[in-house]
Structure 1
Amino acid sequence: MSTSEPSDSVIAMLIDGEDDQEVHELQTDARTPIPKQRREISPSLSSNYGGDGDEGRRKKVLALSDTEGLFCPICMEAWESQGDHQVSCLPCGHVYGLSCIRRWIQQHGGIVAKCPQCNSKYNLKDIIKLFGSPIVVLDESLLKKVRSYEAEVASLKTERASLLAIQDDLFRVQENLFKELTNREEKLSCRGDAASGEKGMERRQSKQWDHHSAHNFLREGILHCKFQLECELAVEGARLFDMDASSQTLVLARRISGLGGTHMLKKVNLISPQQSEDIQLPPGTKPIKDLHISPCGRFTLLASLGKKLSFLSLGSNSFVITYDLPGPAWSCSWDLHKPHCIYTGLQDGLLLMFDMRFSKIPLLSLAGLTSRPIHTIHSLVQNRAFSHTSHKLLTASSSGPCVWNMGSAGPAGERPFLIPGLEDQGVCTSVAYSPSTDNIVASYHPKTDTSARPSGSQVLIKRVDDCFYHKIGSVPVQLNDFQLRKSAIVDIPDCYPLFAYGEELTRGLWLRELPSLKVSQNLEPHQHSILDVKYARSQDKGLLGCLSEDKLQLFSAATKGVFIL
């Protein structure tokens, strides 16, 4: 058996008991040759739909959060007062762009179709063009200002990440210098004070105090963050969740045992957490393996073992789009830079990219390094300091975190690479990523259990540029069982970043400061193991949430300028 791949027995332990029949394909021989890269781009897409330079239609994109009621619900772009994308409506009253609703008919039978929002039947002759005044027309000068501000914000984020990286390097250099100085002085002290052990001890204690004093002096001005419990909710059969602090919405996936193992969603209003709504899943969806609320807070993306990638509107609690996939889906993600692009990772290691404006078939279909399930996907922030056009994805399977090139700086979909230095860490069970600092924390389980309490590890990696990733440090962790559990990185301005995860032995939510990886807080334990951890922040508030199968906890942050002694 290859030493770089986990054993079949370990892979089998990744599977929840309820999902055995759905994911039995996981138990494949680790010696199976790595599949060749597959890249499938639909030839019809380039002919039926224009790109950014299409002369037949000028596409103007606004941020979704700024276009409430001003954009087409199908393509999520602003409609126009005339032309191919003229604002139009159906007899039911729902409004769309003309070209989008015509294309909807062609994709759903060609003659009679249903309204995407209320399922009322209609055909081409029922489409009504609207000529009302005023029609919202995009302000080119305002759009240019928005794009300028976006570029400035991205530049400032890059600058902040670079400064944090420099700070981390300075801390490491400082630590090494102090260690070297202390070692040399201890040797001299032992030689000169061999007969007076008491004086030598006092001198060493004095040097140690000076070390911490200087260390804390350099850290002055950076705050330490503590979390306190704000809300606790009882839930039944919870599996995973996501939340949006701006829209004050939380969505969680559940499995109700009393209904024969029915899978469903629950939407919670964070302003009044007792107010919740149950949402039925489409037939054949099966267990949800991953879900993410969109950056604008209006939609939720869901990946399921029923070979479905679903697009839920949080306004109407209805499923707008459902993609049929070639295999069970284990993960999904929104694109940080293109709100119309989404990704999903399949059980056989395949990565699919969809463009919601165009078609119900994937725009890209790419093979990973192994045939193991892709259990995590993160869209990496574009690092403008090193590349203006590259777009990277971070994914994780049991083999570890991989980086994909999805941009125009190189061949889109070129073969991914495993982050160097992490080849023999064990079985990767979780990867957390922070877009604001480019910190990555990967959690590992040993490939084989040789003791009653196996020891895993958590590894901190700093993304330096598009191709270079620096391993900063790692810490051992005691494990209780073998499951995929999600973790998160907490970034609060002017505070040390934190890594939040469910500690398996105590079943509590633990926080580690970065880059030291020292435990800074151990929050209230649960009766069952913590399955999912998320952090969400708006302009005025940050929330840290953790979920076990019977309880959801939400914590708020408080900062204070104390020093670690």
Structure 2
Amino acid sequence: MASRSRGRRLPPPHPPLIQEFLDDDLFDVEVNYSDEEEEEEESDEEESESEDNEPEEGVPGQESIGEGCGPAIQARVSSAAAEKNACPVCMEAWASQGAHRICCIPCGHIYGRSCLERWLRHKGNTSATCPQCGKRFRPKDITNLYAPEVAVPNNDLEKEVLYLRGKAESLGETVMKHEKLIEEMNERLVELTSAQKRQILSEQRLMNVGSSKRQKEFFMDGLRVMAIDALNQTILASGKAPGIGQEHVLYKFSMVSHHEARNIQLPLDTKTVRDICILPSGSAIFTSLGRKLSSFSMTADRVVLQCDLPYPGWSCCADESSRQICAGLQNGNLIIFDIRQTSRPLHSMVGLSTTPVHTLHTVIDNNGSRKFLSASSIGPCMWDTDGNQGRPKLLLGTDNQRVCISLACAPSSSDLLVASFRPKVETSEDATASQVYLSQTPTPSGGGKLGYHSLIRRAGNSSSFTEDRTCSTLVSEIRMSKSAIIPYGNNQHLFAYGDESLRGVRTWRLPSFEMHSDLSSLQQPVLDLRYAESSSGGRYLGYLSTEKLQAFRIR
């Protein structure tokens, strides 16, 4: 009798179904058996199946995955199936109905029904042992579990759910931030609405008597200068026409009609219009860098007369009583024509400097004679065209530390003036002239430069003038801005100026320079400002920037 080798007894081979389970990629087990050991194990298995009583768990010779694989592998099988929520035999997810529906056996372990039935058929359809614990069960012991829904795990879906959940939380935080921002904006809107109401009230109290009303608002690009015809309630403005050629044109606006502005073509040699003056008769004159002093018919809407100038014109005014029209030139001189004879000038007067005459008014002197009041960088000057005075008279002393950029006077009077100054950057006369020429460029500057307005009064009945008081403010660094004195009440006046920081018009009471009100602000700085009144009592204040023109009726 052949001797049998003694040693550790190896577990029996697993049936094909369980062997497939053991060949899963969760682990790799390889067991070798000898022929004698296989025969011995088969004999033990037959004896075990013939017993009437079920064997206890863990009895040697019992066929199970637990015994065949050892404790470590058994734990890995159970944990792997639990992690995947799947049948521990085929490692496929079970269902709530159908052939592979979820079921259990008396030991409590759960499988897919089709896997248990295949296992029973493999064992002879009578009984089999639990693949996990080894307890024996019969077909009648299989119990269906009625789960309303069996979740099939999907790692990608779980990741997407986690991602969407995180994104939802992030969006929730964003919504909260936006809600807070909207709340702050609503509070700011309430504040702005209150400020606008105060602004409207301020505009309505412009004259402190009666009220002022915004008569018209026009949106136009490229406007530079303007003038108001108070009698006919029209506005004449000049700028470049839109398009490739960008010719210089006049725009005629009606303050009572809803029609669009009328576009009036100018002669090609006109070039940039520097100043416009509306005469009481209803006609207009304007000067341009094309060395022209032009007369314009407001009824025919065309240029009816042109006077040649020796230098580019920067300012203009007219004295209809003597039928004289006057132009301030870029070289600092003054040239006067009789409108009835324009072939040659009536007077050509030399100025006190070579800087442009940027402002020109016709006024009545204290003795009743008409004179021309001008302003250049050196300050305001008085011109006497009827007397023997060959050159103008400087109203104030020479000050090399400042540049005069604007001059306003009470209508038809030289008794009350306001001159605006900015600090002088360069000291030479040529450098000063170069500063003035920059004003041809309407490009808005930054926040402006600290300058001041100076109140100038006539000293008694003499021809002398003195500076009364000043008011500091931000003025343009490059432009020769316009200003105006507006009469109201009993010999009371307001001073209006395009404030650089406000980008709108600010008014002060004279002579105290007490701030009175601010009119509507614009997107761009104010380029021109005009006041006009008619013999019928109509009074208007208008101002413009590069994109908007506004006009107020003063009541």
Q: Structure 2-normalised TM-score?
A: 0.56
Asked if 1 retains the 8 angstrom alpha-carbon contact of 2:411 and 2:485, the reply is: no
Alpha-carbon offset, residue 449 of structure 1: 8.8
Between the aligned partners of 1:555 and 1:452, the Cα distance in structure 2 is 26
User: Helix, strand or coil: the match of 1:380?
Assistant: strand
1:391 matched to 2:370? The reply is yes
Asked if 1 retains the 8 angstrom alpha-carbon contact of 2:307 and 2:342, the reply is: no
Asked if 2 retains the 8 angstrom alpha-carbon contact of 1:223 and 1:494, the reply is: no
Alpha-carbon offset, residue 527 of structure 1: 0.3
2:269 is matched with 284
Partner residue of 1:415 out of 391, 405, 413: 391
Between the aligned partners of 1:226 and 1:521, the Cα distance in structure 2 is 12
Unpaired segments ≥5 residues, structure 1: 1-221, 559-565
Would the alpha carbon gap of residues 452 and 265 (structure 1) be closer, same or farther in structure 2, given more than 3 Å must change? closer
Unpaired segments ≥5 residues, structure 2: 1-206, 428-445
User: Helix, strand or coil: the match of 1:497?
Assistant: strand
2:255 is matched with 270
* Fraction of identical pairs, as percent: 37
Would the alpha carbon gap of residues 492 and 244 (structure 1) be closer, same or farther in structure 2, given more than 3 Å must change? farther
Between the aligned partners of 1:314 and 1:259, the Cα distance in structure 2 is 28
Would the alpha carbon gap of residues 391 and 470 (structure 1) be closer, same or farther in structure 2, given more than 3 Å must change? same
1:400 matched to 2:379? The reply is yes
Between the aligned partners of 1:468 and 1:328, the Cα distance in structure 2 is 31
1:524 is matched with 520
Q: Deviations over 1:361-402 (max 9, x none)?
A: 10111110011111111111143xxx35x4321111111111
2:452 is matched with 457
Letter of the 2:349 partner, please give it.
L
Q: Deviations over 1:188-216 (max 9, x none)?
A: xxxxxxxxxxxxxxxxxxxxxxxxxxxxx
Would the alpha carbon gap of residues 240 and 225 (structure 1) be closer, same or farther in structure 2, given more than 3 Å must change? farther
Would the alpha carbon gap of residues 472 and 525 (structure 1) be closer, same or farther in structure 2, given more than 3 Å must change? same
Structure-to-structure mapping, 1:530-549, within 5 angstroms: 530-538=526-534, 539-549=536-546
Letter of the 1:306 partner, please give it.
G
1:446 matched to 2:423? The reply is yes
Higher relative contact order (CA 8 A, sep 6+): 1
Would the alpha carbon gap of residues 469 and 495 (structure 1) be closer, same or farther in structure 2, given more than 3 Å must change? closer
Q: Deviations over 1:389-431 (max 9, x none)?
A: x432111111111111112xx31x5221211246346111111
Structure-to-structure mapping, 1:236-251, within 5 angstroms: 236-251=221-236
Partner residue of 1:309 out of 289, 293, 299: 293
1:294 is matched with 279
Query: Which has the greater radius of gyration?
Result: 2
Between the aligned partners of 2:291 and 2:328, the Cα distance in structure 1 is 11
How many residue pairs get aligned? The number is 328
User: Helix, strand or coil: the match of 1:491?
Assistant: strand
Q: Deviations over 1:465-496 (max 9, x none)?
A: 46121322111112353211111111134363
Between the aligned partners of 2:313 and 2:462, the Cα distance in structure 1 is 27
Would the alpha carbon gap of residues 332 and 480 (structure 1) be closer, same or farther in structure 2, given more than 3 Å must change? closer
Alpha-carbon offset, residue 303 of structure 1: 0.2
Q: Deviations over 1:70-128 (max 9, x none)?
A: xxxxxxxxxxxxxxxxxxxxxxxxxxxxxxxxxxxxxxxxxxxxxxxxxxxxxxxxxxx
2:106 is matched with none
Structure-to-structure mapping, 1:172-211, within 5 angstroms: none
Alpha-carbon offset, residue 345 of structure 1: 1.0
User: Helix, strand or coil: the match of 2:243?
Assistant: helix
Between the aligned partners of 1:534 and 1:452, the Cα distance in structure 2 is 23
Partner residue of 1:374 out of 357, 365, 375: 357
Would the alpha carbon gap of residues 515 and 301 (structure 1) be closer, same or farther in structure 2, given more than 3 Å must change? same
Alpha-carbon offset, residue 355 of structure 1: 0.3
Letter of the 1:324 partner, please give it.
D
User: Helix, strand or coil: the match of 2:393?
Assistant: strand
Alpha-carbon offset, residue 242 of structure 1: 0.4
Partner residue of 2:482 out of 471, 483, 486: 486
Q: Structure 1-normalised TM-score?
A: 0.55
Between the aligned partners of 1:405 and 1:449, the Cα distance in structure 2 is 31
Asked if 1 retains the 8 angstrom alpha-carbon contact of 2:447 and 2:501, the reply is: no
Letter of the 1:551 partner, please give it.
K
2:409 is matched with 433
